Amino acid sequence: MDIPFNPTQIVNDINSMASESVKNSSVFAKYQAEREAKESAFFVYEAIKKSILEFQSSLDGAHEIGVQLASFNQNLLMYVTRIDYSAPTLIDFYGVINGKDARLIQHVSQLNFLLIAAPKLDANAPARRIGFEVSQVQ
């Protein structure tokens, strides 16, 4: 009796077995843990902090940092005064939107905003800069 020879199926079977072997290995587990850690709020917070501090350093005294939010079926300008994070996956933005105190809570996988130089809210006060805090709420 002849058994049909299917090279594609053989390659697929070998790849599947190798894939299962890798998934069960300690190397894969270490890689997966490192990947998840890099996606955590701490690493995202640090990346945001670096970008914002760099952007803020280019602002003159007549401008504050604003965050243009393109969500909620409208474009909102948030004057951000503080950024914080709650481990492992939430970033909190505090500030003012349309003259009202605001807090935006975002999952690290949903962050998408535009930093802009916005005119100061109070022309007589010094330009505000964003502060960074860490609450690490588990």
Q: Could you list the pLDDT tens digit for every one of the 138 residues in the chain? A: 556 666 677 666 766 766 666 556 777 777 777 666 656 788 888 888 899 889 989 999 999 989 888 666 677 889 988 888 887 888 899 999 999 999 999 888 888 888 899 999 888 999 888 877 555 444
Q: What are the Cα distances from residue 66, in Å, to 13, 83, 94, 104?
A: 53, 12, 11, 13
Q: Do the beta carbons of residue 86 and residue 137 sit within 8 Å?
A: yes
**Type of residue at 102:** A
The bridge status of strand 131-132 relative to strand 74-86 is parallel
Q: Name the token pair of 54.
A: 């760099």
Q: Do the beta carbons of residue 115 and residue 51 sit within 8 Å?
A: yes
